[in-house]
């Protein structure tokens, strides 16, 4: 809108000898730092971000110190105490094998908080690479890879996941890879769009005009400029990854027993709800919901700041 | 809804716009920063008032304030705004909306962005009438009338089209039509022709002038272009750092500028055929103060060659120079003695060698789009000598940038085109050129913001260029880097900064330094100053001249600003629809005999001197390169059209005088005779 909108404080002021127009004095404090500090300040002022961060921090603490915090051993079976309702000795009750649900919910954060970020990180790395290449080359490369991406996107995530897990056999590593592969095209699309904008800026042409090789142009010149969207995409996908992993676990193809995974707990107990045993299902479900909401709030906060 | 003239009594007394002691601040990072410092001005009915100043001086803020349309972080801190006698600041939101609907309108710089891309032109224009209470049919009818008033020749078909199907000039006419639809008493134009070609600019300005008479509208004309002001306005104000520093009748102010800032602005512009070897351009030293900075009593003190102690202590009153001409300078009487900020022009090391560095023969470029072949360049021929500047002019769409990209190897020409560097054929793509060839041919882009990677420090940007182009490393490279920064007058202490921290002029210096990193033989300059303010432009042009004198580099200088091209160029090439229409020494191209197209281009430029030239109107738009006209491609718009021969036979590019080539059926003698009088209006 007005020309004052942005560059305030960014243009360097100087009084100078009249003989030479426009050479400058005082070096300004590094603007990059200022921008970073400002973004942080904006993040900390965003209620969405804070709420998300608090929820996520809570679960991270549970994931790291779970065994110390948990009142009981989450793996200790005790058939005598099976399916006890919440009480003062077991706040969240016990499950079919008499394990403490509260302890299992606390410790259950660990698996998902390892698997989901790893899968998302892998997907982000592959998606960014693919996005850079398709966005930069366009033409044949873009058309070919683009169609493949479209094909993957056209198939429902859970179906692809299930089929590959059936074929490969369920294990934590497979889950990571499957989710990474399924999420890669989505991230690639976002990055590609950002690269399409960047590649028409003349700094890319300038790089070609000093004989830079293509990998340098992609990773040295363009990548730093698309890190904003990449970061936003990572946090958004993280929320989806958590959700997808929980879904796969619920279907029995995700994290395997006896791990106290939340999705798995729901899978093992949902048949009992009709019998009035709601606690072994409700608490893990709330845990999943809160983590997904937390990550999504975080993602919202970040994207508001980065996509201003 | 009354579209009738206001009562005569009101005409005499109330100004269309009155700003009194207007103070506007923007809240940035939690601090209120003053943008307008007590601006007082008034625009009488039927008056055209021009507001000039460099970007960041507060021109647009004044315009937005007059509509009470400040950005959310902006606030009027003090003063009053009256439109047509009504106090804008005490109105409710609803009343302001009513006022915008009936009394004030605004035309923005970028017409394509001002129109909704997904609504047909007709519906957009009709909406204005529908809002005012007309029935749908009636609204469309009136929209059509309005479009013919802005001289759109085929309003019926234009109404069915979308904005992207029209040219920039056409879109600006539509925007003007919408602005005038409500018959406003005040029309605010914010750089309305800045993005347009000279020929189109001329037409749009003519149109505004005509309509003004017809609608009896007052104008607030905001521009950085002094030529436009002198053509369009009766009175003008000069804004610096949010303060009105000079005001008066346009002729008066140009004749006897009485504030150092105005004088600086006028001296910055290459005018009256001044050339680089005769005179350097004057500049205004220093920078516009940052928003919210502490300023001395006279805001211009820090950049003023006349400043004395009193300027810091005491704010100068608005001195009366003559009737209605005021200057806010303690020394307004001797302001014209302002010392020049620049010295004598540099002397070139030696005269240019005769053998050309770069030669182009039969250069063609065809783009293929959805099965259509679009010929962007056809048989372009030229040679560039060492240390010479070849200016390249033409409207947008004439192929200037295509030629530039092709020479530096960003896109390959068609088979059979010959581009030779020192007699050796150059590969089409930069990737296939030898390192020496790559470093010999560099470019300075138009927009330094996108030409410099915003994530890197200046040190990294220049250092990488040096490493890649010269192969130097370590301490040796650092030494070269310092020399390079010094040669473009870039303060080495800023070398760690990132582009966003630098002003536009400094950024362009970095871009120039990068182009010069590998000691190039030829530098293509693609509109290098068109994104810059005039005072910065002058400094950059001086730098280019100086570098050329030192390093004997040849320039291919592309610009739409004929004054700049004329100042800098030894020879000038004129492109139209990808064809070279004229090529010759700079002195001869701009004087008769000249190619009819060059003649029209030159006549379209408004000059700051205010000398009224007969403008030669080019009929219609530049034709599409996909289906260029038969025969001479210019025949559809030519003011000197001969007859059927122009339609059927394409003239050769031939030497009409020694070193002067053109593509026209007329001979030099014939045109010399013809151009003593302006051409008959053709089809207008």
What are the residue boundaries of the structural domains of chain B, listed by start?
A: 16-233, 260-337, 356-576, 591-674
A1 vs B contacts (CB less than 8 Å): 64, 71
CATH of domain A35-306: 1.10.3720.10
Distance CA A164, CA B452 (A): 46
B505 closest CA partner among A210, A224, A206, A16: A16
Per DSSP, A222 falls in state: I
For chain A, the distance separating the N- and C-terminal CA atoms, rounded to the nearest angstrom, is 14
pLDDT at B579 over 50: yes
> Is the minimum CB–CB distance between B536 and chain A shorter than 8 Å?
yes
For residue B593, whether the previous peptide bond is cis, meaning omega lies within 30 degrees of 0, is yes
pLDDT confidence band for B612 (50 / 70 / 90): low
**DSSP letter for each residue of B584-607:** EEHHHHTSSS--HHHHHHHHH---
If you search the block for the tokens 């699309």, which residue do you land on?
A: A189
> Are β-strands B86-87 and B243-249 bridged in parallel, bridged antiparallel, or unpaired?
unpaired
Distance CA B166, CA A37 (A): 45
A71 closest CA partner among A97, A110, A104: A104
Q: What pLDDT is attached to residue B12?
A: 53
Q: Under 8 Å CB-to-CB from B370, ≥6 apart: which residues?
A: none
Least reliable range by pLDDT among A74-83, B153-162, B543-552, B638-647: A74-83
Q: Which residues are paired to A94 by β-bridges?
A: A100
Q: What pLDDT is attached to residue B353?
A: 61
> Is the minimum CB–CB distance between B193 and chain A shorter than 8 Å?
no
Distance CA B72, CA B229 (A): 30
Q: Which helix (H) or strand (E) holds B105?
A: strand B104-107
Determine whether the interchain pair B539/A21 forms a contact, defined as Cβ–Cβ distance below 8 Å.
Answer: yes
pLDDT confidence band for B556 (50 / 70 / 90): very high
B494 vs A12, A15, A205: nearest CB: A12
B667 closest CA partner among B656, B676, B678: B656
Q: State the average pLDDT over residues B341-358.
A: 74
pLDDT at B520 over 90: yes
Within B256-414, residue ranges assigned H as helices are 260-268, 309-313, 400-408
Q: Searching chain B, which residue's CA lies closest to the CA of residue A41?
A: B29
A3 vs B56, B490, B491: nearest CB: B56
Q: What pLDDT is attached to residue A31?
A: 53
Of B6 and B449, the structure prediction assigns the larger pLDDT to: B449
Q: Tell me which residues of chain B, numbers 282 to 341, contact chain A at a CB-CB cutoff of 8 Å.
A: 283-293, 302-303, 305, 339, 341
- Measure in Å the smallest separation between the Cα of A13 and chain B Cα atoms: 6
pLDDT at B465 over 80: yes
Determine whether the interchain pair B535/A5 forms a contact, defined as Cβ–Cβ distance below 8 Å.
Answer: no
A203 vs B contacts (CB less than 8 Å): 450-453
CB atoms under 10 Å from CB of B349, counted, come to 11
CATH of domain B16-233: 3.40.50.300
For the stretch B414-436, pLDDT in tens is 988 999 998 899 998 888 999 89
Residue B367 φ/ψ, nearest 5 degrees? -100, 145
B112 closest CA partner among B74, B164, B66, B73: B164
Q: What pLDDT is attached to residue B4?
A: 44
pLDDT confidence band for B675 (50 / 70 / 90): confident
Task: Assess contact for B419 and B425: CB atoms under 8 A.
Answer: yes
Q: What pLDDT is attached to residue B561?
A: 84
Locate B5 and state its tokens. 């003239």
Q: What pLDDT is attached to residue B613?
A: 58
> Is the minimum CB–CB distance between B501 and chain A shorter than 8 Å?
yes
Least reliable range by pLDDT among B130-134, B545-549, B555-559: B130-134
For the stretch A132-168, pLDDT in tens is 999 998 778 888 888 888 888 888 877 877 888 888 8
Q: What's the complex ipTM? A: 0.82
Options 3.10.20.600, 3.40.50.300, 3.40.50.1100, 3.40.50.2300; which CATH number does B356-576 get? 3.40.50.300
Determine whether the interchain pair A21/B469 forms a contact, defined as Cβ–Cβ distance below 8 Å.
Answer: no
Ordered strands of the B86-87 beta sheet: B31-43, B17-28, B74-83, B86-87
For the stretch B17-54, pLDDT in tens is 999 999 999 988 778 888 899 999 999 988 999 999 88
A14 vs B contacts (CB less than 8 Å): 286-287
pLDDT at B352 over 70: no
CB atoms under 10 Å from CB of B55, counted, come to 17
A203 closest CA partner among B403, B434, B445: B445
Q: What pLDDT is attached to residue B587?
A: 84
Q: What pLDDT is attached to residue B3?
A: 43
pLDDT at B318 over 60: yes
The mean pLDDT value of chain B amounts to: 87
User: CA torsion, points A16, B256, B314, A12, in degrees to nearest 10?
Assistant: -30
Q: What angle do CA B423, B428, B431 make, to 5 degrees?
A: 110
Determine whether the interchain pair A19/B454 forms a contact, defined as Cβ–Cβ distance below 8 Å.
Answer: no
- pLDDT averaged over 10-residue windows placed end to end, chain A, 308 residues: 36 34 40 71 88 94 89 84 84 86 91 93 95 88 85 81 83 88 91 93 93 93 92 91 88 82 88 87 92 92 78
Determine whether the interchain pair B500/A3 forms a contact, defined as Cβ–Cβ distance below 8 Å.
Answer: no
Q: Which residues are paired to B34 by β-bridges?
A: B25
**CA A127 to each of CA A124, A189, A191, A235: distance values in angstroms, whole numbers, following the listed order:** 5, 8, 7, 14
Task: Assess contact for A34 and A276: CB atoms under 8 A.
Answer: no
Q: Which helix (H) or strand (E) holds B473?
A: none
**DSSP letter for each residue of B482-551:** HHHHHHTT--GGGTT--GGGS-HHHHHHHHHHHHHTT--SEEEEESTTTTS-HHHHHHHHHHHHHHHHHH
For the stretch B662-674, pLDDT in tens is 999 988 888 888 8
Q: What pLDDT is attached to residue A55?
A: 94
Q: What angle do CA B413, B416, B417 make, to 5 degrees?
A: 45
Collapsing DSSP states into helix, strand and coil, what is residue A138? coil
Determine whether the interchain pair B283/A21 forms a contact, defined as Cβ–Cβ distance below 8 Å.
Answer: yes
Task: Assess contact for B530 and B559: CB atoms under 8 A.
Answer: yes
> Is the minimum CB–CB distance between B32 and chain A shorter than 8 Å?
no
Q: What pLDDT is attached to residue B220?
A: 94
Q: Do domains B16-233 and B356-576 have the same CATH topology?
A: yes
| pTM for the model | 0.83
pLDDT at B85 over 90: no
Determine whether the interchain pair B61/A4 forms a contact, defined as Cβ–Cβ distance below 8 Å.
Answer: yes
pLDDT at B606 over 90: no
């Amino acid at each position: 809108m007005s020309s004052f909108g942005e560059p305030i404080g960014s243009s360097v002021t100087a009084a100078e000898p009249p003989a030479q127009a426009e050479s400058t004095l005082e070096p300004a404090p590094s603007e990059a730092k200022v921008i970073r500090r400002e973004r942080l300040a904006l993040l900390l002022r965003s209620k969405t971000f804070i709420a998300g961060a608090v929820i996520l921090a809570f679960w991270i603490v549970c994931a790291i110190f779970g065994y110390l915090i948990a009142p009981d051993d989450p793996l200790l079976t005790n058939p005598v105490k099976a399916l006890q309702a919440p009480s003062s000795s077991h706040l969240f009750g016990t499950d079919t094998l008499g394990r403490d649900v509260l302890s299992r919910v606390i410790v259950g954060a660990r698996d998902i908080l390892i698997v989901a970020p790893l899968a998302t990180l892998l997907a982000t790395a592959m998606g960014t690479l693919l996005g850079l290449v398709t966005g930069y080359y366009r033409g044949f490369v873009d058309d070919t890879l683009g169609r493949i991406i479209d094909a993957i996107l056209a198939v429902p995530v859970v179906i692809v996941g299930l089929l590959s897990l059936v074929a490969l056999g369920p294990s934590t590593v497979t889950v990571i890879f499957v989710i990474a592969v399924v999420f890669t095209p989505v991230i690639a699309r976002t990055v590609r769009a950002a690269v399409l904008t960047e590649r028409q800026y003349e700094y890319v042409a300038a790089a070609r005009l000093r004989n830079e090789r293509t990998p340098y142009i992609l990773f040295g010149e363009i990548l730093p400029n698309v890190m904003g969207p990449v970061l936003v995409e990572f946090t958004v996908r993280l929320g989806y990854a958590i959700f997808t992993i929980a879904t796969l676990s619920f279907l029995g193809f995700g994290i395997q027993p006896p791990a106290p995974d939340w999705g798995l707990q729901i899978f093992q107990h949902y048949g009992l709800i009709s019998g009035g045993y709601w606690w072994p299902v409700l608490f893990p479900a709330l845990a999943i919901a809160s983590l997904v909401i937390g990550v999504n709030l975080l993602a919202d906060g970040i994207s508001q700041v980065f996509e201003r | 809804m009354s579209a009738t003239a206001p009562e005569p009594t009101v005409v005499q007394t109330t100004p269309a716009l009155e700003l009194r002691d207007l103070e506007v601040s923007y809240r940035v990072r939690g601090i209120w920063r003053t943008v307008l410092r007590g601006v007082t001005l008034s625009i009488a009915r039927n008056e055209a008032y021009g507001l000039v100043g460099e970007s960041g001086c507060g021109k647009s803020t004044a315009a937005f304030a007059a509509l009470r349309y400040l950005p959310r972080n902006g606030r009027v801190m003090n003063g009053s705004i009256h439109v047509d006698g009504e106090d804008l600041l005490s109105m409710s939101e609803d009343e302001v909306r009513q006022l915008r609907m009936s009394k004030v309108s605004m035309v923005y710089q970028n017409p394509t962005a001002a129109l909704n891309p997904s609504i047909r032109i007709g519906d957009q224009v009709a909406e204005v009438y529908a809002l005012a209470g007309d029935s749908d049919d009636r609204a469309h009818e009136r929209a059509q009338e309005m479009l013919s008033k802005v001289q759109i020749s085929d309003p019926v078909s234009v109404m069915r089209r979308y904005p992207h199907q029209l040219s920039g000039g056409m879109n600006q006419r539509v925007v003007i039509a919408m602005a005038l639809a409500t018959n406003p008493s005040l029309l605010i134009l914010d750089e309305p022709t800045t993005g347009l070609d000279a020929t189109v600019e001329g037409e749009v300005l003519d149109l505004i002038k005509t309509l003004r008479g017809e609608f009896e509208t007052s104008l607030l004309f905001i521009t950085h272009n002094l030529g436009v002001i002198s053509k369009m306005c009766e009175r003008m104000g000069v804004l610096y750092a949010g303060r009105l520093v000079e005001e008066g009748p346009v002729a008066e102010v140009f004749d006897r500028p009485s504030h150092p800032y105005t004088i600086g602005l006028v001296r910055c512009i290459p005018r009256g055929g001044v050339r680089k070897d005769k005179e350097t351009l004057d500049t205004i030293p220093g920078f516009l103060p940052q928003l919210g900075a502490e300023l001395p009593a006279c805001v211009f003190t820090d950049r003023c060659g006349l400043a004395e102690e009193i300027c810091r202590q005491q704010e100068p009153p608005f001195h009366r120079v003559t009737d209605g001409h005021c200057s806010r300078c303690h020394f307004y009487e001797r302001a014209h003695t302002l010392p020049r900020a620049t010295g004598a022009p540099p002397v070139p090391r030696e005269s240019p060698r005769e053998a050309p560095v770069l030669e182009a023969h039969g250069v063609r470029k065809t783009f293929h789009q959805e099965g259509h072949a679009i010929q962007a360049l056809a048989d372009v021929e030229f040679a560039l000598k060492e240390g010479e500047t070849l200016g390249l002019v033409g409207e947008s769409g004439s192929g200037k940038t295509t030629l530039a990209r092709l020479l530096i190897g960003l896109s390959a020409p068609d088979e059979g085109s010959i581009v030779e560097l020192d007699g050796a054929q150059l590969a089409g793509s930069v990737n296939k050129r030898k390192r020496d060839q790559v470093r010999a041919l560099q470019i300075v882009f138009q927009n330094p913001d996108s030409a410099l990677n915003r994530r890197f420090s200046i040190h990294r940007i220049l250092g990488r260029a040096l490493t890649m182009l010269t192969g130097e490393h370590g301490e040796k490279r650092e030494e070269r880097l310092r020399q390079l920064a010094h040669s473009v007058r870039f303060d080495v202490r800023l070398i760690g900064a990132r582009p966003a921290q630098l002003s536009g002029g400094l950024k362009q210096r970095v871009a120039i330094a990068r182009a010069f990193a590998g000691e190039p033989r030829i530098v293509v300059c693609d509109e290098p100053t068109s994104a810059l303010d005039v005072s910065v432009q002058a400094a950059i042009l001086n730098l280019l001249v100086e570098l050329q004198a030192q390093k004997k580099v040849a320039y291919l200088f592309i610009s739409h600003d004929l004054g700049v091209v004329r100042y800098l160029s030894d020879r000038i090439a004129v492109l139209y629809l990808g064809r070279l229409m004229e090529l010759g020494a700079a002195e001869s191209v701009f004087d008769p005999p000249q190619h009819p197209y060059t003649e029209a281009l030159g006549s379209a430029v408004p000059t700051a001197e205010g000398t009224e030239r007969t403008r030669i109107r080019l009929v219609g738009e530049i034709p599409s390169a996909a289906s260029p006209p038969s025969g001479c491609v210019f025949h559809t718009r030519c003011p000197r059209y001969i007859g059927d021969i122009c339609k059927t036979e394409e003239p050769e590019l031939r030497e009409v005088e020694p070193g002067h080539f053109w593509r026209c059926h007329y001979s030099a003698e014939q045109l010399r005779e013809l151009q003593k009088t302006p051409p008959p209006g053709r089809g207008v």
